[in-house]
Structure 1
Amino acid sequence: MNAKSRLVLAALAPVLALATAVPASAHRMWLLPSKTVLSGDDAWITVDAAVSNDLFEANHRPLDPEQVEVEMPDGSKGAIANPMRGELRGTFDVHLTSQGTYRIGMERAGIFGGYMLNGERKRLPRGAAAGDIAKLIPEGATDVNLAETIMRNEVFVTLGTPTEEVFKPSGKGLEMVPVTHPDDLVANEPGVFRFLIDGEPAAGLKLTVIKGGGRWLNTPIEISATTDAKGEATIAWQDAGFYWLEAEAEDDKAALPNAGKRRLGYITTLEVLAP
């Protein structure tokens, strides 16, 4: 059965952005680099990886650093170093040896849902992959209801002059192709970001941007925005610091048979510098 898209197609009007209070705690996935802008012939950064209630505060569970991939400024594959998975967070280092912008992140593609068997509702195990479906759904199962998921969680780090190679879209799922380079963000200048779904502009996509450090703020800062017809949204930063950006969409373009929905997600951490 086709699912209604959660993209608000009517939102072909100008971009909307406003600051609001952040709702009560929710588990959020994030990567937090020690720095996003560096200089010199080479440099090291450390990245924390976790899921938590308070952004950038490790208080729930770790992300696995072994799932992280590094894309070098020329598009070739890099590597992480010194990975560690603790009780509350994962952490790893990246040695920046080439000038330009790096993409550091993870992509998760999977299947979730369930079926009826002998009058009882069963759910697929967490982390199920498309190739596992034949084994996971037993003979005699009915009312099979599946959804496909594609999630990206990434950060961008630059050594020297920012470059654009790592922003070439794959044409699959929900991706960000920034208009304003993510390592060139300043608190007194708005940032513009373009989003694509399967390589096409994602109009009407709702974004949530939350500033880190909300634990110490009387009113935590959240910015809501909606992309225009070109898939672009403008974010006006409240002040300098690390911000977490999330976008989600749902459509009926799942590639797997019996999967009526496809859920897409994108997360990035952005560092906004003082003027």
Structure 2
Amino acid sequence: MRNNKMIKQLAIAVALAGVAVAAQAHRPWMIPNTSIIETDREAWVTIDGAISEGLFENDFMPLKMDGLTVTGPDGATAPAPAAVMGKHRSSVDILLPKDGTYRITLGANNLMGSYKLNGETKRFRGNDAPPAGATDVKTTTMVQRQDTFVTLNKSSDGALKPTGSGLEMVALSNPTELRAGETAKFRFQLDGKPLANFPFSLIPGGVKYRGTLNETRLTTDANGEASFKLPAPNMYWLSAAYPANAPRGPGVEQPAKRYSYSATFEILPE
């Protein structure tokens, strides 16, 4: 009996440790103050961005939102105003001049690499170049993209058209019209080509109040598409990476390019 009790306690401890590790992951996100605006007056949306342990909690550091763009209902893309960076979050106010759905996108390319010098492996990133005499130089470009969405008065699909570049989610269901219990359909593609059997996940906000991630893991079909029943109402963070589940760490050969994608959207009550 005592051994069984000890085994149960150990299992609980391991499970809690796994939750703690998962909860401590730092995730970058952008979130609008609202995803649906209904007004006949001048309309604005505020986008906050941060990197945090708790989703949508300003508990670590601000997200650098240089290069933020806005794609309007007509499909035209323009630079967003400069964001204000605070201690724990960044924030930007964006004017919405016409009715329809908008996509707010943050993209970044970061170079990372390693080299050997005098028998020792060293790492570098950005514009830093390996010193003279360096050997076995290896580089990986990290291509990152984040999206969030907002609709003014009536939804549209002009802003949802794919760019055909990098890893992206094509929203076949409007991301501002998602309701719990209904079915949503998304497609994932890389440089315009559908990604079959591609994994992605959804995590709802409010992790600190639950004590668990409540992550939903999904996979696309042979056409790179996934249809799934929408979970309970909340703000959600969707994430995906390519190559999926690629090994990392010292001594592991890295691909020339790695892609990451995330999106924030709201699931409304039924």
Same-fold status (TM-score > 0.5) = yes
CA distance in 2 between partners of 1:260 and 1:266 (Å): 17
How do 1:143-158 residues align onto structure 2 when only pairs under 5 Å count?
143-158=136-151
More helix by share: 2
Residue in structure 2 matched with residue 25 of structure 1 by the alignment: 24
How many angstroms does 1:260 deviate by? 4.0
AA in 1 matched with 2:269: A
How many angstroms does 1:78 deviate by? 3.9
How many angstroms does 1:79 deviate by? 4.8
How many angstroms does 1:241 deviate by? 1.2
Q: Are the structure 2 counterparts of residues 259 and 140 from structure 1 closer, same or farther at C-alpha, using a change threshold of 3 Å?
A: farther
Picking from 215, 221, 233, the partner of 1:228 is: 221
Aligned-residue RMSD, C-alpha: 2.2
Runs (5+) with no aligned partner, structure 2: 1-18, 247-252
- Judge conservation of contact 1:225–1:234 (CA < 8 Å) in 2: no
1:196 equivalent in alignment to 2:195: no
Residue in structure 2 matched with residue 103 of structure 1 by the alignment: 103
Relative to the length of structure 1, the TM-score reads 0.81
How many angstroms does 1:118 deviate by? 2.4
How many angstroms does 1:81 deviate by? 4.6
Runs of 4+ with >4 A deviation: none
Residue in structure 1 matched with residue 258 of structure 2 by the alignment: 263
CA distance in 1 between partners of 2:43 and 2:233 (Å): 23
Picking from 189, 197, 208, the partner of 2:201 is: 208
Relative to the length of structure 2, the TM-score reads 0.83
How many angstroms does 1:218 deviate by? 4.8
Q: Give the secondary structure class of the aligned counterpart of 2:59.
A: coil
CA distance in 2 between partners of 1:218 and 1:71 (Å): 36
Residue in structure 2 matched with residue 39 of structure 1 by the alignment: 38
CA distance in 2 between partners of 1:55 and 1:259 (Å): 28
- Judge conservation of contact 2:201–2:215 (CA < 8 Å) in 1: yes
1:56 equivalent in alignment to 2:56: yes
CA distance in 2 between partners of 1:224 and 1:157 (Å): 25
CA distance in 1 between partners of 2:212 and 2:130 (Å): 47
Deviates more, 1:238-247 or 1:161-170: 161-170
Q: Give the secondary structure class of the aligned counterpart of 1:166.
A: helix
CA distance in 2 between partners of 1:117 and 1:24 (Å): 37
C-alpha distance after superposition, 1:212-264 (max 9, x if no partner)? 01211254421000111111123333311100000111289xxxxx9843111
AA in 2 matched with 1:268: A
How many angstroms does 1:122 deviate by? 2.0
C-alpha distance after superposition, 1:105-137 (max 9, x if no partner)? 210112112111222222113xx1xxx4xx613
Q: Give the secondary structure class of the aligned counterpart of 2:83.
A: strand
AA in 2 matched with 1:273: L
Greater relative contact order structure (CA < 8 Å, 6+ sep): 1
Residue in structure 2 matched with residue 272 of structure 1 by the alignment: 267
Count of equivalent residues: 243
C-alpha distance after superposition, 1:31-68 (max 9, x if no partner)? 01111111223411111100000000011110123332
- Judge conservation of contact 1:145–1:260 (CA < 8 Å) in 2: no
Question: Percent identical across equivalent pairs?
Answer: 37
C-alpha distance after superposition, 1:138-184 (max 9, x if no partner)? 33221112112211011011112211122222222101111111111
CA distance in 2 between partners of 1:246 and 1:156 (Å): 15
Residue in structure 1 matched with residue 250 of structure 2 by the alignment: none
1:92 equivalent in alignment to 2:92: yes
C-alpha distance after superposition, 1:61-94 (max 9, x if no partner)? 1012333221222223345457321111111111
Runs (5+) with no aligned partner, structure 1: 1-20, 253-257
Larger radius of gyration: 2
Q: Are the structure 2 counterparts of residues 53 and 164 from structure 1 closer, same or farther at C-alpha, using a change threshold of 3 Å?
A: same
CA distance in 2 between partners of 1:46 and 1:54 (Å): 20
1:72 equivalent in alignment to 2:72: yes
Deviates more, 1:34-43 or 1:206-215: 34-43
Q: Are the structure 2 counterparts of residues 250 and 40 from structure 1 closer, same or farther at C-alpha, using a change threshold of 3 Å?
A: same
- Judge conservation of contact 1:80–1:95 (CA < 8 Å) in 2: no
- Judge conservation of contact 2:179–2:268 (CA < 8 Å) in 1: yes
